Chains A and B, each alone.
Chain A
Amino acid sequence: MTQPFRLAEGGRIDRAKPLAFSFNGRDYRGYTGDTLASALLANGVHFVGRSFKYHRPRGIMSAGPEERNALVQVGEDPRTDPNTKATQLELVEGLRSMPQNCWPSLDVDIGAANSLIARFIPSGFYYKTFMWPASFWMRYEHFIRQSAGLGKSPTSRDPDRYDKSYAHCDVLVVGAGPAGLAAALAAGRAGARVIMAEADFEIGGSLLGQSGETINGRPALDWVAETLEELRQMPEVRVMTRTVCYGYHDHNFLTLMENVSDHLTEKPDAGPRHRLWKLRAGQVVLATGAIERPLVFPDNDRPGIMTANAARSYVNRFAVRPGSRAVIFTNNDSAYAAALDLEAAGVEIGAVVDLREDPSGPFTEQAEERGILVLPSRSVVATKGGKRISAVQVGDIDVTGTRIVGAPQEIACDLLLTSGGWNPTVHLFSQAGGKLRWDEAHACYVPGEAMQKGQYSVGASGGRFGLQGCLEEGYQAGVAAAAAQRMKTRSRKKIAFEASDDDFLPGRWMWLPPTPQPAGRGGKQFVDLQNDSTAADLKLALREGYRSIEHVKRYTTTGMATDQGKTANVNALGIVAETVERPLPEIGVTTFRPPFFPVTFGIFAGRDVEDLLDPIRKTPMHGWHESNGALFEDVGQWRRPWYYPREGEDMHAAVAREVKSCRASLGILDASTLGKIDIQGADAAEFLNRVYTNAWSKLAVGRCRYGLMLGEDGMVMDDGVTARLSEHHFVMTTTTGNAAPVLAHLEEYLQTEWPELDVFLTSVTEQFATITLSGPNARHLLAEMTDLDLSPDALPHMGITIGEVAGVPARVFRISFTGEQSFEINVPASYGLFIWQALMTAGQSYDITPYGTEAMHVLRAEKGFIIVGQETDGSVTPLDLGMDWIVSKTKDFVGKRSLTRPDMLDPERKQLVGLLTDDPNEVLPEGAQLVERVLDRPPMPMLGHVTSSYMSPNCERSIAMALIKGGHARKGQKVHAPLADGRVVTCTIAESPVFFDPEGERLNG
């Protein structure tokens, strides 16, 4: 295939390296150095997509990150990216791309019918029309999204790998145009560690698209090449291309996305596709340039309409003629440079339509000298053409600047270039909290006062548009940034730059140039082309009473799509300001938020996927559990055995067997995950007194006590058993999930409230393996393994002894979470598996049965023991739990004062009760809501909910616990649980939540 619009010479493409690619199912050719957009234009393809709302034909409108129409779907499922800007997509061999938002095809699109009824789809249409009935919104939304969507996301998992890296530097330079290069050069010469990040694949910024610029008397691109070479020689300077800085966060923390391999034909086997850089910089130089603003006029969206500077870039950088006959529509001098460059490349210039009454400026004058037709005080009032512009109509602006007089004149063209001035790319500055300032002369927002320290906005992004100014500002910022990082400048070489220093003035700022008909009649004056919002939409929003620019933005969706209003925002502000007749700066600016540029989701996940998503904590006995068929449940990061099914057993059968064995003979549980905190110091007992609800001073050495810990708000936070090993040495156990929060809670009080206490806390959770033997034969088995005196007198319930078990140093606690005689054996973690196996072997004669967390839950529920986090949810006090017995009346402790606040004494608080279904075989679902009276349908006044519910093999019926309003006073009453399936289960509130062995006789045997 030929490239009919490719120039024979010039440009920065490599004609020796042709590339094949496809768009919309057709094959084309381009060159290395092309973007998809430049390659399409070289092949004469302008029409590349349909618009969001009206499905109007749209073309390539820019040559940079501000592109709002040329969004393509790249690649094929599952390696496919939607909404990729063709202007930023580096051409690579075999690239496959498809247009978006059109059905069944780009050329024939059914949605284009929306265009015919556009009058009836004003802004807010969807909100206004589809809101009734409210329950139907979900259904409407489905269809609206389907017909109005942008690209398509992949349907299966992303096969590529992504990465995250941290980086630090003295000076980060964002942007490698003239200002950025000068800044990096200065900082690098001073010895600073510099990172220069450039989104493009080439260094040079705006200079790449220009012609005839010189620096110090030589071609500007020569200076770029020399500077780049010097930077590359510096060991502390890193130049990163294809790296977009998309976020500027607190304390000079910035986020960047590096495209590592999209541009490579042969993808490397190892390494990521994209990489997220989390970068902390000492100083930040923003040299992000400026974006040309289009003009707003009727039907300003046809393929073949683009910004003047984009066309210049296509001619000079990519050697592409974007059309054969161009009309330029401008309000400032800079567009004339495009007219000159295009004419030199053989594009016929129909005319320059200039809003200015008396066009002047350096480029204007050159164009006039070249004989280019200039039409002053004129405006484009209409455009013609379907899938490509074919003509413009030009009207005379009257002396008041508000009306068109006379009949419009038609000029044929296939290319219309517009320039409405320039907007500095202030996004990162604004993200960093900086205040923007309105520059009246240049009619744009420029950086005002910065919020963060060590930050410089230079060149066009700082509002300095001339080349010499860019170079000087950049260099000075580089010097200053290096000095701020305490670099001693080695080179004292005085640097002066000699270059042109023209900006784009003079200009005539008209936000909505006059048209023969008012806005909304005649052609559509698009402001945000990506969201299809028009000047008429903005005016409608104002008429409907919206005043805040943030509200106008949301109502009309102006500036809200993937381009984030890079070209639309200031035009929208101008139109709003003119409509409400207030100065533009008083309208305010909408907030810029990260990302500056769309980034791949994959970089946020990086390698933290699948098994690496979250660390998995395993006990020393984990391998045994696995090889003995355990199924596991996640408890926080811990993986705990859930139950151990034997062949043919389902969960119910396995749990029933485990539960029964434990009460009949002997069960064994891996309890290593319980949190363990070693507490030492002269004031350890006093410390426990203050953090637990009960008293600790008189706990004897060798004894344990159950404790309840509250937050200062009086709510139950954790529970567990603490043992006194010696006068000044305790070991506390916490629930599995709360080990870290409890330690943090204790440290906080110790360090911030009671620093005078002599107490030291150490987490020893992972230092010990914990094995629980529970059941009538627990003592018999343990006695076979140790010389310790296990008799009830020597080691009563709530006692602890230290010695050896199976030859291993051990702490043996006699404590019980099952209601059975029970011993918790703590051994150094490295002996955990050994002693587990020794107990399993010796336990065979007692039919020892390993049980998991499910059986543990049933066993404790039979005894009415609570689980923090199941019976409690952060809104439950000890009194609600009926645990007044553990709350000291005499001493102070954390949370005590809250327990006497009036709300806490309300008898209608939800209180914990036992609950028995009238049908003993019915097991309530946990979380089921409970009501006093069943009504025909919801809502019904709710009394509370079920917190725990199990089938209890030992009680031979179902058992449950529930939190019920005023529950303690409702014992014996009936409540009902209306279930999701329509059944209603009737239950009775039990006298006590202790369903098994209420006297506790089994414990003391």
Chain B
Amino acid sequence: MLQIPCPHCGPRNESEFSYGAEAHIARPKTPESISDEEWASYVFLRDNTKGVLLERWYHAHGCRRWFNLARDTVSYEILAVYAMGAKPPKLERKTYV
């Protein structure tokens, strides 16, 4: 059970949150003008990152706010928390083989 530092409520158990998968995937501005492949990529395809992943979380059973996390998917260490719409902080990316 991860302990997630909600920017509004403080550290809480993972069971209070919903996972929102990879962050910084913007909804296409004009969906009608892009190809089927581009649209499918937006809807369905996500990276399967080994290492630092920027991801979204939702404090569903708390403040009901969305926010971003930088989390290492190998060690599960949470490296940064930042607001929706904010630029991700500069992080050293540990590489795993």
- A associates with B: yes
Binding stretch for chain A, among B35-43, B46-54, B87-95? B35-43
Instruction: Check if B75 sits within 8 Å of A451, measured CB to CB.
Output: yes
B82 is an interface residue with CB less than 8 A from chain A = no
B40 touches A751 (CB 8 A): no
How far in angstroms is the closest Cβ of chain A from B69?
13
B34 proximity list for chain A (CB < 8 A): 897
* Beta-carbon contact of B84 and A752 below 8 Å: yes
Enumerate A256-286 residues with CB–CB distance to B below 8 Å.
278, 280
Given contacts A712-B43, A896-B31, contact A452 B75 (CB under 8 A): yes
- Which of B3, B58, B66 has a CB less than 8 Å from the CB of A251? B3
Q: Is the CB of A747 within 8 A of B32?
A: no
Given contacts A752-B66, A892-B31, A892-B32, contact A249 B85 (CB under 8 A): no
B18 surroundings in chain A (CB, below 8 A): 744
Residue of A751, A755, A902 with highest tally of chain B CB at under 10 A: A751
A898 contact set on B, CB distance < 8 A = 39, 43
- From known contacts A744-B18, A752-B20, infer whether A280 and B31 are also in contact, taking CB-CB under 8 Å: no
- CB <8 Å contact, A748 and B58: yes
**Per a CB cutoff under 8 Å, which of B31, B76, B77 touches A897?**
B31
In the complex formed, the residue of A with least CB distance to B66 is A751
- In the assembled complex, the CB of B1 is this many whole angstroms from the nearest CB of chain A, namely 5
Cβ–Cβ contact A901 & B64, under 8 A: no
Chain B residues, Cβ within 8 Å of A502: none
Q: Give bound CA distance, A747 to B84, whole Å.
A: 13
The reply on A1001 being an interface residue by CB < 8 A is no
Whether the pair B2, A744 counts as a contact (CB closer than 8 A) is no
Give Cα distance in the complex from A451 to B94, angstroms. Answer: 13
Is the pair A280, B3 in contact by a Cβ cutoff of 8 Å? Answer: yes
Report whether A752 and B76 are in contact in the complex, using a CB–CB cutoff of 8 Å: no
| B2 pairs with A901, CB closer than 8 A | no
Instruction: Answer whether A755 and B84 are a contact pair too, CB < 8 Å, given A251-B76, A280-B3, A897-B39.
Output: yes
Known contacts A755-B85, A898-B43; decide if A250 and B31 are in contact (CB<8 Å): no
- Measured between C-beta atoms, what is the minimum distance from A653 to chain B in Å? 44
Q: Mark A552-585, 1 if CB is under 8 A from B, else 0.
A: 0000000000000000000000000000000000
For residue B77, which residues in chain A have a CB less than 8 angstroms away from its CB?
A: 452-453
Which B residues touch A452, using CB under 8 A? 75-77
* Contact with A713, one of B26, B43, B56 (Cβ below 8 angstroms): B43
**Contact yes or no, A250 B1, CB < 8 A:** yes
Closest-by-CB residue of B relative to A755 is B85
Residues of A near B26 (CB, < 8 A) are 753
Assign chain B's interface to a size class. 20 to 34
Q: Which single member of B1, B27, B31, B74 contacts A753 (CB below 8 Å)?
A: B27
> Which residues from B are CB-within-8-Å of A253?
1, 3, 13
Nearest to B77 among chain A residues (CB) is: A453
Q: Kindly state the separation between the CA atoms of A453 and B78 in the bound complex, as whole angstroms.
A: 11
User: What's the Cα separation between A927 and B33 when bound, in Å?
Assistant: 40
Which A residues from 705 to 722 make CB contacts under 8 A with B? 712-713
List chain B residues, Cβ under 8 A from A516: none
- Taking a contact as CB atoms under 8 Å apart, the answer to whether B64 and A747 are in contact is yes
Cβ of B60 under 8 Å from chain A:
yes
CB contact under 8 A between A902 and B1, given known A755-B85, A892-B31: no
Output the nearest chain B residue to A763 by Cβ-Cβ distance.
Answer: B64
Q: Which residues of B contact A713 (CB under 8 A)?
A: 43-44
| CB-nearest residue of chain B to A749 | B27
Q: Of B44, B58, B85, which is within 8 A of A744 by CB?
A: B58
A966, CB-defined interface residue at 8 Å: no
Decide yes or no: A744 and B60 within 8 Å by CB, A250-B2, A755-B85, A897-B31 being known contacts. Answer: yes
- Find the A residue at minimum CB distance from B29: A892
Decide yes or no whether A401 CB sits under 8 A from chain B.
no
B97 vs chain A, min Cβ distance (A): 13
A433 and B20 form a contact (CB under 8 A): no
Nearest-neighbour CB distance to chain B for A283, whole angstroms, equals 14
Give the one of A433, A453, A897 with max B CB within 10 A: A897
Q: How far is the CA of A585 from the CA of B65 in the complex (A)?
A: 48
Given contacts A892-B32, A897-B32, contact A251 B2 (CB under 8 A): yes
* Per-residue contact bits, chain B 1-12, to A (CB 8 Å; 1 contact, 0 not): 111000000000
Chain A residues, Cβ within 8 Å of B14: 250
Q: A280 to chain B: which residues have CB within 8 Å? A: 3, 13
Given A712-B43, A898-B43, A901-B39, are A251 and B1 neighbors across the interface (CB < 8 Å)?
yes
**Closest beta carbon of chain A to B81's beta carbon, Å:** 14
Residue contact B65 to A751, C-beta cutoff 8 Å = yes
With contacts A251-B3, A748-B20, A748-B58 known, is A901 near B36, CB below 8 A? yes
Task: Give A756's nearest chain B residue, CB to CB.
Answer: B85
Inter-chain contacts of A251 with B (CB < 8 A): 1-3, 76
A744–B74 alpha-carbon span in the complex (Å): 29
Instruction: Give the residue name and chain of the B residue nearest to A750 (CB).
Output: B66
A251 to B27, CA, bound (A): 33
Closest residue of chain A to B68 (Cβ to Cβ) is A752
Measured between beta carbons, the chain A residues less than 8 angstroms from B39 are 897-898, 901
Query: Interface digits, A733-749 against B, CB 8 Å rule (1 contact, 0 not)?
Result: 00000000000100110
Residues of chain B lying within 8 A (CB to CB) of residue A896: 31-32
Quick one: closest B residue to A894, CB to CB? B27
A827-885 at interface with B (beta carbon < 8 Å): none
Task: Enumerate chain B residues within 8 angstroms of A278, measured Cβ to Cβ.
Answer: 1
Which residues does chain A contribute within 8 Å of B60, judged by CB atoms? 744
Q: Given contacts A713-B43, A897-B32, is CB(A433)–CB(B75) below 8 Å? A: yes
Tell me which residues across on chain B come within 8 A of A451, comparing CB atoms: 74-75
Across-interface contacts of A250 in B (CB, < 8 A): 1-3, 14, 76
B5 → chain A closest CB, angstroms = 10
A482 to chain B minimum Cβ distance, whole angstroms, is: 20
| A contact residues vs B (CB 8 Å cutoff) | 249-253, 278, 280, 433, 451-453, 712-713, 744, 747-748, 751-753, 755, 892, 896-898, 901-902
The 3 closest A-B pairs by CB, nearest first: A897-B31, A251-B3, A751-B66
Chain B residues near A (Cβ < 8 Å): 1-3, 13-14, 18, 20, 26-28, 30-32, 34, 36, 39-40, 42-44, 56, 58, 60, 64-66, 74-77, 84-85
Give 7 A-B pairs besides A747-B64, A752-B20, A898-B39 with Cβ atoms closer than 8 angstroms: A250-B14, A251-B76, A280-B13, A712-B43, A748-B66, A752-B66, A901-B36
8 A-B pairs in the complex with CB atoms less than 8 angstroms apart: A250-B14, A251-B76, A278-B1, A744-B58, A744-B60, A747-B66, A898-B43, A901-B36
